[in-house]
Every structure is written in structure tokens, then in C-alpha cells.
């Protein structure tokens, strides 16, 4: 069967669509990126103060608060995998809707019942279940992007995703909190975040009409259990995808781990105070969001693997050490130096952006399964980071935990060397095709010769 797909360069579109296409941003998904930014702002409002807030409103200690966040991380990990696996069965849009509803319902219960009553058990339950919400929404949209964007500009497309994602969590979210906490208090700010997030979800789900995300990505004859199992078995059927998942875990595990114990160290031990700590978080991830775009576009030119190795893994191994040891050594009088090393960490963290383009391209015939593992890695990071803190903060101290984070980045650099693109993905980039078009072509049976 000959593919009837129209070459992307010949497809109709307005001047705005062509401009966005040159920037690597899929025009039909524009409002999705806008909605995602608002959603993640709402989700990220709490990131700079949630651990001490939980400790002061029912948990009692920072260690007990870290248990709540760890339970949340386990839910995020499971939901991140499900966002890819269920997108194959339901379509990305339906997965995003389920994630939005879960977040709104259980965050309201967390604030109105668990926090208001200072009930630690209900904190564990409601905040934990809420963890299923944001990854199903955000990573469901990432699956949508990888199904629509052309391979030649997929690095840029996922760069725009992380521009919106980290623009909200924690960059603009923390900035919002720095202004609203003194006025509304932390509890009032958390309720404000619910409204911001709901607005973002509605913009995304009502504004995007691109039809690929409205339907299942798996073939009609694929059974639910078969689809879910294939999203796990791909890890050993295509070992490079499994290695890529581990790289994705390491990408942000230190980020989530640092947010557990850095607020206390930077605010109190070093003496920056909460406001300057939140501003530092905003600088770190403000830098990150712009470098998400820079490295997304650059990776399409110099190679996804090269970008991840040098700018991501090696860069983060150096910058994470500087981020902790330089401010601790210099003290509160050198806040401007802390801002510089924070910006460096944010920039190098963006070097991992191409992993979201690389993994599905390693398995274009099962991109949903690859995305499920990628998202599992992203979700596992929210569990692994705080878990490392819980296990090693006591015996190794803060410095020991940071050194462990740096060692993980070195390990990621080694693993990245094994992530080599298959020929079919390289040809797709040359012909300006998406992974969906590649999968359709490779899955098609050969034409039978005409008979006379």
C-alpha cells in the first residue's frame, strides 16, 4: 500500500501557522501550550513552600512531610506511565480530562478537609491521590505533541512543551506565591492555585480541536491489556528505550529532591529568607524555560544525543554541585552569586529536553509504549528524588545528598551514549514526517503486484 499522506511542506495553512511551524510549534496545538502554561502555574504555586507548609499544618516535622510528598511521588510515577499507556487506548484528550478532574477534586479535599482539620492521615490520602492529576494532564498533552509534530522539528516542539511546563512548575508558580503569600497567606495562595489551574485546563481542552488527540492512538484491534503490557514490555524488547527511561528519571529526580530540603537550608541555614529563596527558584526555572527552547531548537541541528550528553548530563553534574556548595560557602551576603549558579543549573537542566523527542523516535512503531516509559521515568523522578532525601539526608547530610545527585548525572551521561536513532527515524526527519506517519507507513502491508 502506498502512503497517501500529503507532504507536510505542501499542506495548506495561514501565515500564522507557517510562522509557528518554522518556530517548531505545531499550530493546531497552540492553545494547548497556553493552557498547559496556566495549568502548570496553578500546580507550581506550592512548589517552593509545600514541604514546610505540610509540616506546620498536620505533619509536625519535615521528615513526616517528606513522607506525604513521597506518597504523592509514587502516584505521579504511576499516573505518568498511565498517561502514555491510556493515550493509546482512549486518546490523549480524554486522559487530560481525567487528570484535570482528579487534580481539582482531591486538591479541594486536601485543603478543605485534611489541612483545615490538620489530619495527617487524610493528607497522605488526598495529596497522594491528587498526584494522579498533573501527569495525566501534562504528559497526555506531550503524547499528543509527539503524535502530531514532524520528526525534523520534534526537538523544538517538545522544547515548547517544557517551556510551558517549567514556565509554570515551578517558575511562574513560585513567582506568584512570592507576591500572594504575604497578602493571602500560604493557605489562601493554595486556593488561588486551584482557580488558575482550572482556567488552564479549560483553555487547553476547549481550545484545541486537532483531531489526532480525540481518538485512540493504538490500532482498533489492540486489546486494553495487550496495550498496557506492551507499554512495559518495550523496555526489554527495545533496551535502548529502557535506558532512555532511566536517563529521564535522573533528569529531574534531583530537582524534586532539592525542593524537599533546599527551602530550609537556603531560607534559614544560609539566611536568604523565604522571599529571596522563592526568587532564586524563579531565577533557576526562569532560565530553564528559555533554555528549553534554545536546546530544543539546537538539538534538531546538532543531534538530540549530543545535546543530552554535554549540555544535560555533564552540565548538570557540575552545576548541581555549584548550586549547593557555593551559596553555603559564601553565605547570605553573596546572594547575587547564588542567583548566577542557580541560573547555570536551570540552563543545564534544559539540556535533557531532547529525551522526549529521542525516546519515541527509538520505537516509532510503538511510540505510545515509548512515551509511557518516558512518562514513567518523569513520574518516577518525583518519587526517586524525595526518596533519596528521605534515605540519605540523615546519615549523609545535605552535602552528601547533593553529591549523590551529581553522581547520578554522571551515570546519565554514560547511558546516553547508548541512545542511537534507528534508520527509520532518520529517514522520517529527512522527509519532514511525523512519527504517526512513519508508523502508518511501516505498519502498512506491501502492495500485491497487479494481475492481468
For residues 405 and 6, give the distance between their C-alpha atoms in angstroms, rounded to a whole number. Answer: 47
**Alpha-helical runs (H) found in 303-431:** 304-307, 315-330, 335-349, 355-362, 367-416, 423-430
Has residue 224 got a pLDDT over 90?
no
Tell me, yes or no, if the pTM score tops 0.85. Answer: no
Residue 6's pLDDT band, with cuts at 50, 70 and 90, is: very low
- CATH number for the domain harbouring residue 428: 1.20.1250.20
Say which residues have a Cβ less than 8 Å from residue 130's Cβ, sequence separation at least 6: 72, 75, 102, 103, 106, 107, 110
pLDDT higher at 47 or 434: 47
Q: Can you say how many angstroms the Cα of residue 145 is from the centroid of all Cα atoms in its chain? A: 13
Angle between helices 423-430 and 355-362 (to 10 degrees): 120
- What is the average pLDDT value for the chain, to the nearest integer? 88
CB count in 10 Å sphere of residue 419: 21
pLDDT for 446 equals 42
Residue 201's pLDDT band, with cuts at 50, 70 and 90, is: very high
Tell me the pLDDT tens digit for each residue of 160-175.
999 999 888 877 888 8
pLDDT for 439 equals 59
Q: Which three cell numbers stand for residue 94?
A: 480524554
Q: Which three cell numbers stand for residue 226?
A: 495487550
For residues 142 and 217, give the distance between their C-alpha atoms in angstroms, rounded to a whole number. Answer: 13
**Considering only 204-213, 315-324, 331-340, 359-368, which range has the smallest mean pLDDT?**
359-368
Rg, C-alpha atoms of the chain: 22
DSSP string, 33-70: HHHHHHHHHHHHTTTTTHHHHHIIIII-SHHHHHHHHH
pLDDT for 7 equals 42
Tell me the residue range of the domain where 160 lies: 29-217+234-442
Tell me the pLDDT tens digit for each residue of 380-393.
887 899 889 989 99
For residues 425 and 58, give the distance between their C-alpha atoms in angstroms, rounded to a whole number. Answer: 51
Residue 422: inside a domain: yes
Tell me the pLDDT tens digit for each residue of 39-72.
999 999 998 789 889 999 999 887 899 889 889 9
- Let me know: does 332 contact 271? Beta carbons within 8 Å: yes
Residue 340: inside a domain: yes
Has residue 211 got a pLDDT over 50?
yes
Has residue 4 got a pLDDT over 50?
no
Residue 452: inside a domain: no
Residue 416: inside a domain: yes
- What are the CA-CA distances from residue 100 to residues 77, 194, 221, 444 (Å)? 17, 11, 29, 36
Residue 21: inside a domain: no
Residue 2's pLDDT band, with cuts at 50, 70 and 90, is: very low
pLDDT for 442 equals 53
Instruction: Please count the structural domains in the chain.
Output: 1
Residue 260: inside a domain: yes
- Let me know: does 153 contact 108? Beta carbons within 8 Å: no
CB under 8 Å, gap of 24 or more: what pairs does 175-180 form?
Answer: 175/278, 175/279, 175/282, 176/41, 176/45, 177/45, 177/46, 177/48, 177/49, 177/278, 178/48, 178/275, 178/278, 178/279, 178/282, 180/45
For residues 8 and 224, give the distance between their C-alpha atoms in angstroms, rounded to a whole number. Answer: 32
Amino acid at each position: 500500500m502506498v502512503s497517501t499522506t500529503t507532504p507536510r511542506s505542501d499542506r495548506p495553512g495561514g501565515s500564522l501557522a507557517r510562522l509557528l511551524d518554522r518556530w517548531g510549534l505545531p499550530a493546531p496545538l497552540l492553545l494547548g501550550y497556553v493552557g498547559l502554561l496556566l495549568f502548570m502555574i496553578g500546580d507550581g504555586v506550592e512548589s517552593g513552600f509545600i514541604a514546610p507548609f505540610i509540616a506546620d499544618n498536620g505533619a509536625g516535622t519535615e521528615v513526616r512531610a517528606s513522607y506525604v510528598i513521597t506518597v504523592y511521588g509514587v502516584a505521579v510515577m504511576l499516573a505518568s506511565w498511565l498517561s502514555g499507556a491510556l493515550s493509546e487506548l482512549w486518546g490523549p484528550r480524554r486522559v487530560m480530562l481525567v487528570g484535570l478532574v482528579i487534580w481539582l477534586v482531591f486538591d479541594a479535599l486536601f485543603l478543605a478537609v485534611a489541612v483545615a482539620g490538620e489530619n495527617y492521615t487524610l493528607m497522605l490520602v488526598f495529596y497522594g491521590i491528587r498526584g494522579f492529576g498533573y501527569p495525566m494532564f501534562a504528559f497526555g498533552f506531550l503524547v499528543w505533541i509527539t503524535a502530531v509534530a514532524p520528526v525534523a522539528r520534534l526537538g523544538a516542539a517538545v522544547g515548547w512543551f517544557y517551556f510551558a511546563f517549567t514556565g509554570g512548575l515551578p517558575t511562574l508558580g513560585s513567582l506568584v506565591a512570592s507576591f500572594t503569600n504575604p497578602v493571602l497567606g500560604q493557605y489562601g495562595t493554595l486556593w488561588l492555585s486551584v482557580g488558575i489551574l482550572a482556567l488552564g485546563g479549560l483553555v487547553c481542552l476547549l481550545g484545541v480541536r486537532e483531531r489526532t488527540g480525540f481518538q485512540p492512538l493504538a490500532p482498533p484491534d489492540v486489546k486494553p491489556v495487550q496495550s498496557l503490557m506492551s507499554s512495559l514490555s518495550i523496555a526489554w524488547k527495545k533496551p535502548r528505550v529502557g535506558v532512555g527511561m532511566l536517563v529521564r528519571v535522573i533528569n529531574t529526580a534531583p530537582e524534586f529532591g532539592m525542593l524537599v530540603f533546599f527551602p530550609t537550608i537556603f531560607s534559614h541555614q544560609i539566611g536568604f529568607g523565604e522571599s529571596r529563596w522563592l526568587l532564586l527558584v524563579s531565577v533557576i526555572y526562569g532560565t530553564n524555560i528559555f533554555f528549553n527552547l534554545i536546546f530544543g531548537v539546537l538539538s534538531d541541528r546538532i543531534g538530540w544525543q549530543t545535546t543530552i550528553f554535554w549540555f544535560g548530563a555533564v552540565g548538570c553534574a557540575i552545576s548541581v554541585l555549584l548550586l549547593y556548595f557555593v551559596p553555603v560557602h559564601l553565605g547570605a551576603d553573596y546572594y547575587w552569586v547564588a542567583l548566577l549558579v542557580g541560573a547555570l543549573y536551570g540552563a543545564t537542566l534544559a539540556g535533557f529536553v531532547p529525551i522526549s523527542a529521542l525516546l519515541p523516535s527509538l520505537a516509532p512503531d510503538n511510540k505510545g509504549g515509548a512515551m509511557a516509559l518516558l512518562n514513567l521515568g518523569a513520574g518516577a523522578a518525583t518519587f526517586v528524588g524525595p526518596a533519596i532525601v528521605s534515605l540519605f539526608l540523615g546519615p549523609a547530610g545535605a552535602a552528601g545528598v547533593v553529591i549523590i545527585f551529581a553522581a547520578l548525572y554522571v551515570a546519565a551521561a554514560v547511558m546516553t551514549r547508548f541512545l542511537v536513532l534507528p534508520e527509520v527515524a532518520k529517514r522520517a526527519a529527512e522527509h519532514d514526517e511525523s512519527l504517526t506517519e512513519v508508523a502508518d507507513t511501516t505498519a502498512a502491508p506491501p502492495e500485491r503486484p497487479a494481475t492481468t
